[in-house]
Chains A and B, each alone.
Chain A
Amino acid sequence: MFEYCSDPRSLEGLQWLSCYLTTATHFSFYWSFLTVLTLLAVTAPLALAFGFAGASAARSHVLPVSWLGRAYIAAVRGIPDIVFFLFFVIALDQGIEWFRHLFVCEDLSQPVWNNGEFRVCPAAKVPANDASPFMVSAYSFTLAVTTFAIVFGAFAANVLYGAMTAVPRAQLETAEAYGMSHRQVFRRVLVPQMWIYALPGLSNLWLILIKATPLLFLLGIKDAVYWARELGSAKTSGNNPYPHGDWRLFYFLALLVFYLVSTRVSEILLARLTRRLSRGQATRAGEDMRKGGAAT
């Protein structure tokens, strides 16, 4: 990057560090943080949409739809989310290929799952064998985002379902008394009012989502964890211009700081909200606040 970096072996101290931290691979590391933020930005609304669909389904008057919604919400409660992450990435991939296999391939005589192999005809492969590297990584990123959205959608569905039942019954009854249909009550009264009840749960979910992003590494994305392991491992071979020992500890410390800062910013907002809600409550926190207010 800098001109004096042409011969790193002659450099010392800070100059060496400035060169070391601006190598091409380090820029991949910095870009991977953008991957994390992109994932957050794309997943959050998508998970909210999944959650909204799940919560609405669970409230449905049609029994099978209601069961489907409830099963969706209940599944992630009892089963570790990592199982879902590992499962959905393969399952989605195979599902798409199998679906294409049924329509694209001519020879359907062979079973797709056979003796420990999953085999579809070349035309049904996703991404195609001759796809560009960008397409391949875009495909795996899309799979990862979908997986995140499915899992976190279930958490969001749980929060939104709770919020929907928390809207005072009288509000809905008044709307019904004015002659609104079920659909109108849902759209005009229930949905606008539920957000205030869903807010604490959703902000908690946001924190959880931030902390789940390193799991991208398990889904085979070259994210910050991947690069931290890659760059931090000992580089002692002769042709490496920047030899160093095992520095993975420092890279993971940097990651730790990144995540602490991101959650801290969200937490400050949460703390403000909690403070606002405990004001005037007959609890210890509220009492301390009252006494503290009287003293000053």
Chain B
Amino acid sequence: MTCWETFQAYSLRSLGYGERLLPREGYDLCQHFTLIGSGLIWNIYFGTLALAFGFFLANALALAKASRSRWVRKPAEWFIFVFRGSPLFIQFFLAYETLVLLPKAGIDIFGITIQTAWTTKAWAGALFVLFLNTAAYSAEIFHGALQSIPKGDLEAAEAYGISGWKKFSRIEWPTMLRLGWPAYTNEAIFLFHATTLVFFSGFPAFQQRGDALYYANYFADKTFNPFIPYPIVGFYFILITLALIWGFGRVNRYLNRHLPSNMKARIRLRPSLIR
């Protein structure tokens, strides 16, 4: 099998296309790179969608946590506390066991049967957990940023007669994003790292369609040689990290465009969040 044939057979294996059986012999570098790269599709899927949906929930939660009303603040605080205070690994298990308990035949609501089988699949269940998890972590970051808005900015806005919604949408929210962005970049990076947990935590890999680490683990089990597959996963994730830093750096530059160049917040990678 040439490398090109291997690529054709396995490049979309994680989605269920191409060769059904995983490689049983050879285990050359080409197979490693192709299959692990194929699994990476799932990591990107989980990371991107959870991040995109989580961003909106995170904004809502951050505002709710900063609210003066107890009834709004407390639920947000509890949500953030539960998801930040417990290991993601346990959250995955708990979510899976809960979803398994849903009635198999579906739930009847007003005569419409809602199917439940798909919720136990990783693409839905794990994505949901990651979405809630990243929303909680990001909300904490945005809440912190909201608290750190310089009071001079707010006073200046009020002095110019900007108040209410306009003050929020034009002063508070952009400043919150600007201040929280470096930390949010780190959160994005560690969310992508966290996606490798999915297939090790209860969610089964249907027809051996797993993520990058799942296939790396498969190779390590077959060849008893951890020194090739795991560094390949590492290599792919370094690429993802660099791409994220680049993309978020662009946004960071946009958010800081009005500031003099010596005051701009630089994105510094801090490994402060693992789940």
Contact = CB atoms under 8 A, between A and B. Distances in A.
Interface of A: 75-83, 86-87, 90-91, 94, 113, 116-118, 154-155, 158, 201, 204, 208, 211-215, 217-218, 225, 228-229, 232, 246, 248-249, 252-253, 255-256, 259-260, 263-264, 267, 278, 282-287
Contacts of B216: 83, 86
Contacts of B101: 246, 249
B93 A284 contact: no
A259 B234 contact: no
A211 B213 contact: no
B272 A78 contact: no
Interface stretch (B8-16, B54-62, B158-166, B192-200): B192-200
B241 A78 contact: yes
Contact of B94 (A217, A253, A283): A253
Contacts of A158: 270-271
Contact of B85 (A201, A264, A278, A283): A264
Interface string B168-205: 00000000000000000000010011101100100000
Contacts, number: 144
Nearest to B270: A158
Contact of B100 (A117, A118, A217, A246): A246
Given A249-B101, A259-B90, A283-B150, A80 B82 contact: no
B100 A214 contact: no
Given A215-B89, A259-B87, A260-B81, A248 B97 contact: yes
A214 B87 contact: yes
Contacts of A208: 272-274
- Number of contact residues on B: which range applies? 35 or more
Contacts of B151: 282-284, 286-287
B238 interface: yes
Interface string B218-256: 001011111100100110011001100000000000000
Contacts of A228: 93
A135 to B, nearest CB: 22
Chain B CB within 10 A, most for which of A155, A214, A217, A287: A214
A249 B274 contact: no
A284 B143 CA distance: 11
B132 interface: no
Contacts of B27: 116
A79 B87 contact: no
